[in-house]
Amino acid sequence: MNLEGKLRLLCEAVGVSGDEGAACRRAAEMLREYTDDVRVDGNLSVLANVYDAGEDKPKLLLDAHIDEIGMIVTHIEDGGFVKVSGLGTDARLMLAQEVVLHGEKDIPGVILAKAPHLTKPEERKKVPETKELWIDTGYQKEELEKILMPGDRVTMKGGFTKLQGDFVSSKALDDRSCVACILAALEELKGEELPVSLTVAFSSQEEVGCRGAVTAAYQANADMAIALDVGFGMSPGVEKRDCGELGKGPQIGFAPALDRHISKKLVELAKAENIPFQYDVMGSGTGTNADGISVSRGGVRTGLISLPLRYMHMPIEVVRLCDIEAVGRLLAAFIRQADQVGRDF
């Protein structure tokens, strides 16, 4: 299966934070092309021991989160209307969206939007909170309660769409596109002897506090880690200095929470391998799993690679396949030389 096909399958799988089971099963199946040592832990993170270089060799962890944004059902009201709470969603985008409620079966629904003819001028200026939204499924309450309950998850209906060239749009590209980056690196390294032991984590619950990565990193007990997440991609109306550009390769992170030697090695390798790259400099934490991984156990030397993505936390996120391929190449190059990364002591 080619990269686009894998990405499509990953994005189509349902895996809202705390209920990542279907996405985990799909990702675990893909990982089994590279190792039989694949499991899903108690937090629904996928862990795979890909390569054992021996006890005297460093241990490297690669992490990308498997969960996606969505909503959680809080109440089923009279008339069959459903109330929700958000899990990483932006309420500005929710009105009149098609959604899928994942109960005993998948239930199509739409988020209510009052007709403009019935809306007062002051209402049109107000952005609703997620708790103010209602979902209409067409069911009556008594029927709906047989197949849906509080705690069930809701996803936005953002189908996988091939745009011009190698641009693709879908829900859940945050962070399934980075899962695809890791799979691309494993494909390139297939059959090679590596200088480090390699573990992969597709971690859960990043969108609600990076919890899965903390426990996955503890279990991996690695010496070094590379976290992968999406970064802000340049689009109209945003500041260029805040974004990376799609098509110009991985964004290599520099921040207090990140190991500067790993960051510098990534830059060195990108230059040596003629891989386009961009700097991503942060003044404090990174807001990604890298922050939690770096303080796991006694501390893990951690780097961060971000994939430029447009329209983050929306049902129509956009990435370029060439950037995924470039990140995969950079990861593979790093793994081949991970035992040569400098350190301060």
Point out the residues that are catalytic.
Answer: 206
Q: What does R_g of the chain's alpha carbons equal in angstroms?
A: 21
Distance CA 171, CA 27 (A): 16
C-alpha span between 105 and 102 (Å, rounded): 6
H helices present in the chain, as ranges: 3-12, 21-31, 121-124, 141-144, 173-189, 211-220, 260-272, 289-294, 321-336
Q: Which two tokens stand for residue 219?
A: 């279990």
Look at residue 277 and give its three-state secondary structure.
coil
- Cα–Cα nearest to 68, from 41, 86, 81: 86
- In order, the DSSP letters of 119-181 are --HHHHTPPPPGGG--EE-S--HHHHTTT--TT-EEEE----EE-STTEEEETTHHHHHHHHH
